Amino acid sequence: MRILLVEDDPSLAAGIRLALKPEHYTVDLLSDGRMALAALKGEEPFDAVILDLGLPGLDGLELLEAVRRRGNRVPVLVLTARDAVDDRIRGLDAGADDYLVKPFEVAELKARLRALLRRSQGLASNVMEVRGIRLEPGTRSVSYHGEPVTLSRREFTLLQEFMGHPGRVFTRDTLTRLVYGWDEEVESNAIEVHVHHLRRKLFPGLIRTVRGIGYVMDRTTREAEA
């Protein structure tokens, strides 16, 4: 899952990114409200936003209102030191999906983020099951017909994206941004390598190549394509 973190406190932002890394999230960071608005207006695919309200450039609430006016329904978890009831109500009315007051426990942040992502996908639980594969984000475990499968962090992230959107065709560029984010160097064939490993560790027909475009995980089994 790809998360946009909008936070201007460097130490807090670094702490959140460090805490979320083991959860297999790809976390991109911005510290300015206007830059965040531009990112959310563009073609960048984000599964959720963690948003501070006290931002330079553009206040977090103004940013949130502008994003919602454009019809962007990305789940937003607001982080703020403003703990008055009126402030929380204003944030929720502006379009926030959840609200977490600073200081907060990292475990609660993770739990609220999992809940947001689960609701956004219409899931009753975090567990995903597609074509004999069972993926549990909470324990970061994967099994195929009951047999455990060991995946790297990026393989897990890629599989989670495919399983969360069966039938959706992902371009290579989109998958690269989802798995690596903005600030990591990427080999030109990185996605091809990850897809190859997933096919080998699970089964060949897991992910189908859409020639000239990218990859898709079909909802039902079909012939494998290299």
pTM above 0.75, yes or no: no
Enumerate long-range contacts of 134-140, CB under 8 Å, 24 or more apart: 135/159, 135/160, 135/163, 137/23, 137/24, 138/114, 140/22, 140/23, 140/24
Closest CA to 216 of 130, 123, 126, 122: 130
What residues pair up with 9 in beta bridges, in sequence order?
none
* pLDDT tens for each residue of 22-67: 887 889 999 999 999 999 987 777 889 999 988 998 999 999 999 9
* pLDDT tens for each residue of 79-136: 888 777 777 788 888 889 998 888 889 999 998 998 888 887 665 557 888 889 999 8
